[in-house]
Structures are given as C-alpha cells and as structure tokens.
Amino acid sequence: KDIRGIGFATADSVAIRLGMDPHSVERQKAGILFTLERSRTDGHCFLPTQKLLSGAHSLLGFPIHEDTLTLLLRNLEDDGDIVVEEDRVYLTSLSNAEMAVAEFVAHRCEPWEKPLVSEAIALETLRRVQSDLNITFSEEQRSAVIAAMRYPLLILTGGPGCGKTTVTRAIVETFLAAGKVLALTAPTGRAAQRLSQVCNHPAKTIHRLLRFDPFSKKFYHGANAPLEVDGNLVDAVIIDEASMIDLVLAKDLFSAIPKNTACILVGDRDQLPSVGPGKVFGDLISVSKMPTVKLSLLYRRGESSTINEVAHQVNAGIEPSIPEPNGETRADAYFIPRKDPEEAAKTIEKLVSDQIPKKFDISPDDITVLTPPNRGPLGTISLNQRLQDILNPKSEFEDSLSLSGGELSLRIGDRVCQRVNNYQIDELGVFNGDIGHVVEVNSDLGSAVIELWDGRRIFYESENIPQLMLAYAVTVHRSQGSELPCVVLALHESHYTLLERQLIYTAVTRAKKLLVLVGSKRALFLGTKRSGSKTRFCSLTEKIVKLIS
C-alpha cells in the first residue's frame, strides 16, 4: 500500500519468492487490509467478519481460523488501521467518515428557531418565478421552497419530470432575494454547468468548490476553513445530483459547511448509487426524522412523454410499454428488438450515423450510446470502434494515436471522455466524465489537444493520453450526472449480471429529447424485474438514528 502502482498481488508474489512464510502474521494482516480496501470498490463501508474471512481466504489461499482472526483484528486495531464494531470491521478512514456524516446530519434534523428567509419573501419570490417561467407551482413544490428556508438540512428528491430543477431555481432565487451568500455544486462538471445554467448562478464541481490540492491530496476547505464566497461565509449550499456522492466525499463536503449554513441535497434516490463506498443519499432519506420533500407530480416534457412513462414504469418494476417505430407512431421513446448482438450493433451504427439525424434532425454529436458493459459486441470498446469508423473514419493525411493498448485510436474530431480526475493538467483541472473533442494530434510526440465541453483547450502530453477514452458509447455508470439530448440504449441478455432496475432507470432518465432502446425485450424484462443494486454494508442510517435518539 506504500508504493504507487504496486498492489497486494504483486507485492505478495515477490515476498513469497523471497522466502516469506505464507502463514506469517504480517501476510495475514496485509491480506485482511487488502480485502477491506477491495470491498470499497463494491460500495461497502465495512465487512461482516464472515465476509472478511471468506475474502481473506480466497486471497491468501488458506482459511484464517476465527480465533486467529480475533487476534489479528486486535493487532490491526491497535495499529490504528481498522475499527471493529461488534461483527463489523471497518477501515479506520471509513469508520471516521461514517461517524462524521452521521453527526453532521443528526444535528440538522430540527428546524431553525428562526427561518433563514422569511415566508413572506419566499412567497413573493415564488410568485415572481411563476410569472417569469409562466408556470404554476404545486403545493408540494411550494412546500419544498418554504422547507429549504426552515431547515438546516433538506432532502429534495423525485423522479424525472417532477420539477426538481424548477424548485431548485426557486430556492436559489429566494435565497438571493434575501441577500444570502450561496454556493451551488454538483459531483461532475456537466452537472455543475447545467445547474449554473438553470439557476442563472455560478456552480462548481465539489472538488473545485472545496479547492482540492493535487500535491497534498487534500481539500483547502474543511472544518478549519469553512466555505466562503468573496470572503463571506456561505449562508446556503445547494448540491445537485446528490445520489452520486459517496461517503468520503460527503464527509469532506459536510465538514466545510458552517454550523449556521443551510444545506440542500437534490437528487433521485432511485438512480444508481455512488461508485465509491456508501449510499449516502438513500440512507439519509431512510431516516424517518430527516426533513425530506419528495416531488411526485409530473411536469417535464408534458403529460404525453413516452420517456417519462418508461422511466416511471421501470422504477415501479413494471415492464415498460415502448412503441416500435413504424413510420407513423409519434413518440420520444422507441424500442427496436434485436436478439443477435451483432445485428443490434449494426442497428446502432445505422441509428447514430443516419436514421436519427434524418428523422429527428438530431446531430450525431448529440447522440450518445449507453450500454452496461465495456467488453463484448455491445460493450463500449467494440461500439466505439464501430462508431468511430463510421462517424470519423481514419484519414491517411491525419495523425492518430493509439488508445487502450492499441484496441482504439485517437483521431482529430473524435469525441472523448476523461476517465480519471486530473488536477494538474490545467489550473481548473479535468475531471472524470468530462467530455471533449480532439482538435490536434501529434503522433511524433504522442500528444493531443482536447477542447472540453466548457470551451477550454487542454494539451495532453503522452503520459496523460491513457486517461482518455472514446465517448461515442459510454457505460451507464459513466453517464450519471449527465443530461443527454438523445440516448441509444443497448440491452441484451448477455449483460445479465449487470442488468437491474436502477441501471435501466438511470439510463432512461439521461435522455432529454429522444430515447431508443435496441436489443432484447427479455433483457429489458429481466432488468426491470430485478430490484435494487447489490447489498452494500453500511451503518449510516443506524448511526444517525442512534445519535438523534
């Protein structure tokens, strides 16, 4: 764990070859720590002892007896590496993060003694926003805005078309009308940009808001340096796409929010949970005393939207009724049945390059293919290669660079996506999920220039090129936080292990104007009927409830 790029398997192999006893205490302790660390990638905050024993067994090649495990855990706890709570074994950092988030939340469930903004100002602002947008707020929407002024912490949740964005704008307008200092933020650059546009107020990614230092790997803002704007402590923080925030990032963000500052979390609990450990947004909603407004009435795209209908049917576990294109049906969502993966891939090629642009006047650059896996004929690698060859074929007169170990190449004009956060490549940083286009390629230097979605041009040296991937097709997980004009969703039974309701729901709700599903109806049925993601071992809800009581 101390040398970058050297994982447990490599270090273990070297140690065994150099004569280390496979049953040594140090090797067993390292195996336990690695098992816990690896469980983070599955979203776990802790492991029950039996799960830990099983994981360590497969890693070390022999079972650890329970008596031995007790001694090893006591040793690791004395070293400060882990925390043991009854049957639950945590890495210390995750135990601390879970408790910090629980304490932040537990102290914010009661209303302010005096609302941050008076109800009179809130109601007057609502009338003005209604007039500006030519809409009428529902009772639940009005109550959400009033609640945002009354509580130190508020959860605003709801599905697609329920008006979360409009309510968020009204909340922002209300705070501004009262002269309050605001910070708007979201996990991804695209989500932050969209939040800024709809609210007509600056918004930043969480990392930029907290001022991440790439050298120390820490945030500037925290408990000792609370959030401020132009030297003034913020009065309210509004966080969009909050379901994407994992436990560690939630801890960092909450620690920077001053005691008397309002915090509003906006999101959809039914989307995929965070990639990192925990399921913070869903856990907070599960707390009965948590101030929560769930919007339920449909507004976006109108009552006749097929996309809305599909999203809500999937979310309810009902196999959605989606029309097949017949030249006469007018809808914003279609299903094209294709049982064979190769035929499905060919259909996707035609849809993106020809049929959708002609019929719906949507540019290929506004069409994104979503798919569950990276591998296979309907995975991102294969689909990106197919779509690149059609939309941006190789020219003998232009340079190109190799990507993904030679499986793909990078050409001028390609749509690309940043795969990891990079805080040093530019003063504002480039973040996982940022989309751009290749504008220059130099094969001699192995470098490229990428124009990002926000207009910045970033020079990528050869060492940073592997951080890019083609983005004609991306996984559903990577699309989280994005609002896409047109989505072509590939679904097939070969994706069985990945198919589940939250994944399909997340994919469907990315589409703004048009959704086309291509593949197997059985895959759609199986995914819709399989509820929830895999169990995540977390105790956040339990700890919040205990602290409140």
pLDDT score of 540? 98
**Predicted confidence (pLDDT) per residue in 365-381, tens digit:** 999 999 999 999 999 99
Residue 5 has pLDDT above 60, yes or no: no
Token pair recorded at residue 19? 């004569």
pLDDT score of 406? 65
61-to-4, 13, 69 alpha-carbon distances in Å = 25, 12, 15
The C-alpha torsion from 231 through 237 and 243 to 249, rounded to 10°, is 30
Read off the pLDDT of each residue in 178-197 and give the average, rounded to a whole number. 94
Please name the residue ranges forming H helices in 151-219.
164-177, 189-199, 206-210
Q: In this structure, is the dihedral angle defined by the CA atoms of residues 521, 515, 380 and 35, taken in order, positive or negative? A: negative
CB 269 within 8 A of CB 157: yes
pLDDT score of 380? 96
Report percent pLDDT > 90 for the chain: 77
Residue 35 has pLDDT above 60, yes or no: yes
Average pLDDT taken over every residue of the chain: 92
Which bin fits 548, alpha (ψ -120 to 50), beta or left (φ > 0)?
A: alpha
pLDDT score of 189? 85
Amino acid at position 472, single letter: Y
Q: Confidence class of residue 108 from pLDDT cuts 50, 70 and 90? A: very high
Token pair recorded at residue 450? 């990428």
Domain positions in the chain are 8-86, 104-301+537-548, 318-529
Read off the pLDDT of each residue in 192-221 and give the average, rounded to a whole number. 92
C-alpha–C-alpha distance, residues 99 and 278, integer Å: 12
Q: What is the 3-state secondary structure (H, E, C) of 456-516?
A: CEEEECHHHHHHEEECCEEEHHHHCCCCEEEEEEEECHHHHHHCCHHHHHHHHCCEEEEEE
Read off the pLDDT of each residue in 287-295 and give the average, rounded to a whole number. 96
Token pair recorded at residue 155? 């959860």
Answer whether 104-301+537-548 and 318-529 agree in fold. yes
Q: Which CATH class is domain 318-529?
A: alpha beta
203-to-144, 169, 238 alpha-carbon distances in Å = 21, 12, 9
**Predicted confidence (pLDDT) per residue in 137-170, tens digit:** 999 999 999 999 999 999 999 988 888 999 999 9
Q: Please give the angle made by the CA atoms of 277, 281 and 284, to the nearest 5 degrees.
A: 110
Neighbours of 74 (CB within 10 A): 12
**Predicted confidence (pLDDT) per residue in 503-534, tens digit:** 999 999 999 999 999 999 999 999 999 986 67
Best CATH choice for the domain 104-301+537-548 from the list 3.40.50.300, 3.20.20.100, 2.60.120.280, 3.20.20.70: 3.40.50.300
Read off the pLDDT of each residue in 197-225 and give the average, rounded to a whole number. 92
C-alpha–C-alpha distance, residues 464 and 460, integer Å: 6
Residue 430 has pLDDT above 90, yes or no: no
Rounded to 5 degrees, what are φ and ψ at 200?
A: 55, 45
Task: Please report where in the chains the tokens 């602002």 appear, as a residue.
Answer: 125
Q: Please give the angle made by the CA atoms of 467, 471 and 476, to the nearest 5 degrees.
A: 100
C-alpha–C-alpha distance, residues 339 and 110, integer Å: 54
